[in-house]
Structure 1
Amino acid sequence: MLYYLFRFLEGFDIPGAHIWSYISFRALLALILSLVISAWFGEKFIRWMKRHHISETARDASIDPFGVEKKGVPTMGGIIIIVAILVPVLLLGRMRNIYLILMIVTTVWLGFLGFLDDYIKIFKKNKEGLKGKYKIVGQISIGFIVGLTLWLSPDAVVRENISVQQQNQEVVIKHKTENVKSLQTTIPFFKNHNLDYSNIMAFCGEHKVAAGWILFVVMTIIVVTAVSNGANLNDGMDGMCAGNSAIIGVALGIFAYVSSHIVYAAYFDIMYIPGSQELVVFLCAFVGAMIGFLWYNAYPAQVFMGDTGSLTIGGIIGVCAVIIHKELLLPVLCGIFFIESLSVIIQTQWFKWQKRKGKRVRVFRATPIHDTFRRLDSQLDSTSTYLLRNWPHRPFHESKITIRFWITTIILAAITIITLKVR
């Protein structure tokens, strides 16, 4: 809104009004504003939650192995994150931008889905929360909406990087002169090659393009659902999910910025995506909200984000990656989320398989995998056998586990960004 106001004032030669046309100014302002909002609103929100004794029942018995009791800590802190993202974006973003609209819709949609889950846990005293099938339906629905919009919207276009010429022994990347609807996506580490979904569906003959778009929509649904659930599983320790997500947000912001600049896009041999610069504003607000939330969520936490926050965070990351055609980079960039999800799948399926044989055998000491590093022997199920009972050899303090996971995510983000230069 402020963007349009100052662009209007620019016509009257108001000093300084032109600065609002610069993406760097609006992005950094969004970062600062979201950080301030999350810090200020967070304090008010936590006081209100405590005053009304609102906390998640499932957390009441959760006591840190090193003696810090988590009883009575307010949850639904994801509301702080959502407010801190939306306010700067609505003030500073170009609201006619299709990508920004999709990000706002995703934030509100998954925020509401997570809110329902937390509401049932807190006010209905049902530790199970919203049934899993309803969560999946909600995640699939927003993935379908995003994928279908990117397919049908005339504003969701790119300029493909298809022309490579040798000039003075230097490789020069050129883009098409016209904007086109494209089914291509970036393949990490492979120079001069993009994956085209229509080529995968070549067996459909003359209908391969339509089939490619259908595959793209399905891929969008899978990405959004997987990353949203991965972030949800990662939210198990103080500051864990917020810190990892902030790092991932910075990496995605870099990708969005270079994708929106035709010179940088040519230099890094990636597709030029007109309009994706507004994602930089959104992602700066996202990172600011994460950092501000960490002020209260760092160990020992004064508030938990709940599913209101974790489902929303994962969805934002997944949708943003799809928009900038970098979804194939997510297994690396969101490696922590991937490992968390994989550990739960392995643990669950192995236990079910062994149970059919009359045995109670588990692989890890606990899942998601971060719980393995803090679980004491006294907390293990005495009726079960653990294949990795002696790994790790001793439990670690929660804050040490969290920071080491952050460091791992920083390394993965650096590797992901390096893929640009490798191309």
Structure 2
Amino acid sequence: MFQYLTFRAVMAAMTALLIGLLAGPWVIRRLTELKIGQPVRGYGMQTHLSKSGTPTMGGVLVLLSIAIATLLWFDLANRFVWIVLIVTLGFGMIGWADDWRKVVQKDPEGMRSREKYFWQSVIGLLAAMYLVFTISESNNYRVVELFVGWVRSGFDVDLPPKAGLLVPFFKEVSYPLGVFGFVFLTYLVIVGASNAVNLTDGLDGLAIMPVVMVGSALGVFAYVTGSAVYSKYLLFPYIPGSGELLIFCAAMAGAGLAFLWFNAHPAQVFMGDVGALALGGALGTIAVIVRQEIVLAIMGGVFVVEAISVMAQVMYFKYTKRRYGEGRRILKMAPLHHHFEKSGWKETQVVVRFWIITMLLCLIGLSTLKLR
């Protein structure tokens, strides 16, 4: 029974869910005792001032639940799960440092953007360099051979089609990226997904449920690409070992649902950057391994739009300030969920409607399994 991937995935989800539900009250009490409360910026939503002091850094609960459940149920020899775990915990450490400065050192801004992006870039680039050769070959010995061949060739070696950019809804359409193109794209996906989820995490339950849905959908893609039979039938690249990522995705779903129990409005605990940055990085890394970067952008459309809304707001404000002497805004407030709050939507309305949109986008993403 324990040899079946689907059984182990179900058990990983149940394990993470139970760990989160049982440990949640204790974690919240400890965070409260340590006075690790969420600071609310003075220029933020006035309706959120009442949330000041709510325990934050609850993402630690999510990461511990995921890590324990994954380590209990996945094949310890699987290299893809290890790299996802390393990236997830690495981004979690960055988020921890950011949150620590906010809540302990009483700096509402936390880690400065340049410092945060530097460490994100380090992890993202290292992961990209590892994945470009790991996805192309089936074992570590062949990975080393490919890397050596790439160096000896003057950094010019052809990668197999499965390392190219796959276009959804089309049969066997893959654009070759080359090593540097793959590394650059992977870096953008991992770091971009991490920051997009972090920007979305601004309302009770807003970020965690889309993470659960998108992560679960990516688990389906992992199962397909890791199966020689299903990948051939559905015209997907066969990536040996990627199926084990279903265990991680299931654990992430279980841990996320457990956290939602305490994070639903009115939230007893917030995820903080330690959770949001880590979960976003995990989604990006999984999407790269299963070669579904574009599908991730579709299913995680809420994350994408939230990130774009912030970039557009900042760029337009700086442009108008330089040209007209005063900054102007496109939205009433960025990220986008605050714009809808300013427009009269209740917090719960914004959250549930964004969940519904994410569910629809995930169904569109899953339809690419067959509509090709």
Normalising by structure 2, report the TM-score.
0.90
Q: Supply the distance in 2 between the matched residues of 1:360 and 1:220 (Cα, whole angstroms).
A: 34
Say which of 350, 357, 366 aligns to 1:401: 350
> 1:248 corresponds to which residue?
214
Gaps of 5+ in 1: 1-18, 159-178, 198-211, 376-391
> 1:88 corresponds to which residue?
69
Q: Is the Cα–Cα contact under 8 Å of residues 212 and 253 in structure 2 kept in the other structure?
A: yes
Q: Supply the distance in 2 between the matched residues of 1:35 and 1:349 (Cα, whole angstroms).
A: 41
Return 293-302 or 127-136, whichever deviates more: 127-136
Say which of 319, 325, 346 aligns to 2:285: 319
Q: Supply the distance in 2 between the matched residues of 1:140 and 1:360 (Cα, whole angstroms).
A: 30
Q: Is the Cα–Cα contact under 8 Å of residues 115 and 308 in structure 1 kept in the other structure?
A: yes
Query: Could you tell me how far 1:182 is from its partner in structure 2?
Result: 4.4
Select the structure of larger CA radius of gyration.
Answer: 1
> 1:283 corresponds to which residue?
249
Q: Supply the distance in 2 between the matched residues of 1:61 and 1:304 (Cα, whole angstroms).
A: 19
Q: Is the Cα–Cα contact under 8 Å of residues 197 and 276 in structure 2 kept in the other structure?
A: yes
> 2:97 corresponds to which residue?
116
Return 314-323 or 67-76, whichever deviates more: 67-76
Q: Is the Cα–Cα contact under 8 Å of residues 62 and 69 in structure 1 kept in the other structure?
A: no
Alignment length, in residue pairs? 352
Q: Supply the distance in 1 between the matched residues of 2:245 and 2:264 (Cα, whole angstroms).
A: 27
Q: Is the Cα–Cα contact under 8 Å of residues 12 and 69 in structure 2 kept in the other structure?
A: yes
Return 284-293 or 138-147, whichever deviates more: 138-147
The two structures, once aligned, show a CA RMSD in angstroms of 2.0
User: Is residue 2:340 matched to residue 1:373?
Assistant: yes
Q: Is the Cα–Cα contact under 8 Å of residues 94 and 278 in structure 1 kept in the other structure?
A: yes
Q: Secondary structure at the match of 1:58?
A: coil
Q: Supply the distance in 2 between the matched residues of 1:53 and 1:233 (Cα, whole angstroms).
A: 24
Q: Which amino acid in structure 2 is aligned with residue 252 of structure 1?
A: L
Q: Secondary structure at the match of 2:175?
A: strand
Q: Secondary structure at the match of 2:279?
A: helix
Higher strand proportion (structure 1 or 2)? 1
Say which of 307, 330, 353 aligns to 1:341: 307
Q: Secondary structure at the match of 2:238?
A: coil
Say which of 173, 176, 183 aligns to 2:163: 183
Q: Which amino acid in structure 2 is aligned with residue 55 of structure 1?
A: G
Query: Could you tell me how far 1:152 is from its partner in structure 2?
Result: 3.6
Counterparts in 2 of 1:94 and 1:181: CA distance versus 1, 3 Å: farther
Q: Is the Cα–Cα contact under 8 Å of residues 194 and 280 in structure 2 kept in the other structure?
A: yes
Q: Supply the distance in 2 between the matched residues of 1:40 and 1:192 (Cα, whole angstroms).
A: 46
Q: Is the Cα–Cα contact under 8 Å of residues 45 and 338 in structure 2 kept in the other structure?
A: no
Q: Is the Cα–Cα contact under 8 Å of residues 157 and 181 in structure 1 kept in the other structure?
A: no
Q: Is the Cα–Cα contact under 8 Å of residues 13 and 252 in structure 2 kept in the other structure?
A: yes
**4+ runs deviating over 3 angstroms:** 59-65, 152-158, 179-182
Q: Secondary structure at the match of 1:302?
A: coil
Q: Supply the distance in 2 between the matched residues of 1:94 and 1:246 (Cα, whole angstroms).
A: 22
Q: Secondary structure at the match of 1:421?
A: coil
Gaps of 5+ in 2: 140-158
Q: Supply the distance in 2 between the matched residues of 1:154 and 1:252 (Cα, whole angstroms).
A: 16
Counterparts in 2 of 1:64 and 1:293: CA distance versus 1, 3 Å: farther
Describe how 1:156-175 pairs up with structure 2 within 5 A: 156-157=137-138
Say which of 216, 221, 231 aligns to 2:182: 216
Q: Supply the distance in 1 between the matched residues of 2:366 and 2:217 (Cα, whole angstroms).
A: 7
Describe how 1:347-358 pairs up with structure 2 within 5 A: 347-356=313-322, 357-358=324-325
Counterparts in 2 of 1:412 and 1:181: CA distance versus 1, 3 Å: closer
Q: Which amino acid in structure 2 is aligned with residue 49 of structure 1?
A: L
Identity %: 36
Q: Which amino acid in structure 2 is aligned with residue 260 of structure 1?
A: G
Q: Which amino acid in structure 2 is aligned with residue 398 of structure 1?
A: E
Counterparts in 2 of 1:189 and 1:355: CA distance versus 1, 3 Å: same
Say which of 322, 328, 334 aligns to 1:361: 328
Q: Supply the distance in 2 between the matched residues of 1:362 and 1:298 (Cα, whole angstroms).
A: 31
